[in-house]
Amino acid sequence: MTATTPQVRSIPEAKKIGMVSLGCPKNLVDSERILTKLRADGYAMSANYEGADVVLVNTCGFLDSAKEESLEAIGEAIAENGRVIVTGCMGEEAETIRARFPQVLAVTGAHQYEQVVEAVHEAAPPTQGPFVDLIPQPDEAAIKLTPRHYSYLKISEGCNHSCAFCIIPQLRGKLASRRIDAVLREAEKLLAAGTRELLVISQDTSAYGVDTRHEEKMWKGRPVRAHMTDLARELGQLRTPDGHAPWVRLHYVYPYPHVDQVIPLMAEGLLTPYLDIPFQHASPNVLRAMRRPANEAKVLERIKAWRELAPDLAIRSSFVVGFPGETEADFQYLLDWLEEAQLDRVGAFRFEPVAGAAANTLPDPVPEAIKEERYARIMDLTARISAAKLQAKVGRTLPVIIDEVGEPDEDGDVGATGRSQADAPEIDGQVFLRNVPANLQPGQVVQVAVEDADAHDLFGVITR
């Protein structure tokens, strides 16, 4: 009887997924969740088109310019790879996408995770095999598309507002809040994995829990409400593995009355003194046309009170110029309001019609030339305000979180880039550091003596 050599079977190589993620941080979180699920199903990630078995394009559909950017990204992915699945906000316009790119493999809407995964399984079936299938997949280890030291924490989907210029409720539905215990567990896991800064996001952070009537869940042996202030307090009490409090930054905060309750948390050091509030305008006439609250005078009083309690509070906002019916008087009202409000960070957008938005039918559209002129004026004003506020920080020592450490120059000096508590990643300013220690790492929080400033950024050195 002769021995037979056992047949050796090789484990097939995992199928690879490419991802192009466009739009806001909420889309980025969706992309992370999709990739995490796919990795748990045995897929690998590809950093380029060439190595991918299928490419996912997570689109933005808020403005016409964003839609065009999404279409261009789809076209590039098709040209470079050919096997493309489309998801995200613009996925609601499947007919438009298929009319231009009939070869796309599938189109799904915003945060439709299961449908995206099913489409990937159909287009590129997983090749784990019968033996690898028995190995538990790392479904708890989430894929991050941001650096290790900061993470977006999405607390809800959708929105209950009916702003005239917006179609988010049509794209993402009504407000749907996550359980507060689930949010806090995710935050704990992120901190355990190296996160040092939590960026709380949603379509309307202030409305968190309204749809569930602020349902209570048990957390650490006590009931906690699904409410923005309760969530903020609990997040501020979490700690990193080395015992440090994380930076907790609130985004997309509508100025409801209960926002006043989070300012004491900033004064106590539980929350980063930063609020991202989408004011959009200040003129009562324009705010009414936008279908937004028109209480701009009271808001100025509240901002003053907030700063008295938390002097280092940084407020960022965005404004729309050239909304239909906006007069020169309305725009001047906005400039005067900004002059008094002295917001720290401001972004401005020229009004664009969005298919399906109520604003498209409003009378008295603003000519494009006037939009451009007003945009230039508001950016000049806000840059001047920003420059003055940053100049006032020269000579102070501020905490700074490190984002990137450079290579030594010809003299051996190493520079680094970080952010103060007034700066959210990607959208605000930076702090540029000279002559940093060679062992400095991203995610470290250091004390920085501010030596100089321009209209948007600070410059300084780590104190010894």
d(CA 148, CA 141): 13
Element (H, E) at 21: strand 16-21
Per-residue pLDDT at 26? 79
Contact 190, 176 (CB under 8 A): no
Q: What is the pLDDT averaged over residues 322-336?
A: 97
d(CA 337, CA 447): 34
Q: How confident is the model at residue 2 (pLDDT cuts 50, 70, 90)?
A: low
* Strand boundaries in 211-359, DSSP class E: 216-219, 222-225, 247-250, 274-276, 314-321, 345-350
Closest to 86 (Cα-Cα) out of 103, 68, 104: 104
d(CA 440, CA 189): 24
Is the pLDDT score of 403 beyond 80? yes
Of 419 and 109, the one with more pLDDT? 419
Q: How confident is the model at residue 156 (pLDDT cuts 50, 70, 90)?
A: very high
Sort strands 314-321 and 345-350 into parallel, antiparallel or unpaired: parallel
Q: At what angle do helices 180-192 and 228-237 cross, to 10 degrees?
A: 30
The runs of H, that is alpha helices, within 213-278 are: 228-237, 263-267
Per-residue pLDDT at 136? 43
Q: What is the pLDDT averaged over residues 221-250?
A: 95
As beta bridge partners, residue 419 has 401
Per-residue pLDDT at 306? 97
Per-residue pLDDT at 399? 97
Q: Going from the N-terminus, what domains does the chain have, and what CATH number goes with each? A: 16-132 (3.40.50.12160), 150-391 (3.80.30.20), 397-462 (2.40.50.140)
Q: What is the pLDDT averaged over residues 7-12?
A: 54
Is the pLDDT score of 391 beyond 60? yes
Of 192 and 411, the one with more pLDDT? 192
Contact 281, 327 (CB under 8 A): no
Q: Find which of 54-58, 69-73, 271-275 is predicted with most confidence, using mean pLDDT.
A: 271-275
As given in the structure block, the two tokens for residue 7 are: 């047949």
Is the pLDDT score of 42 beyond 90? no
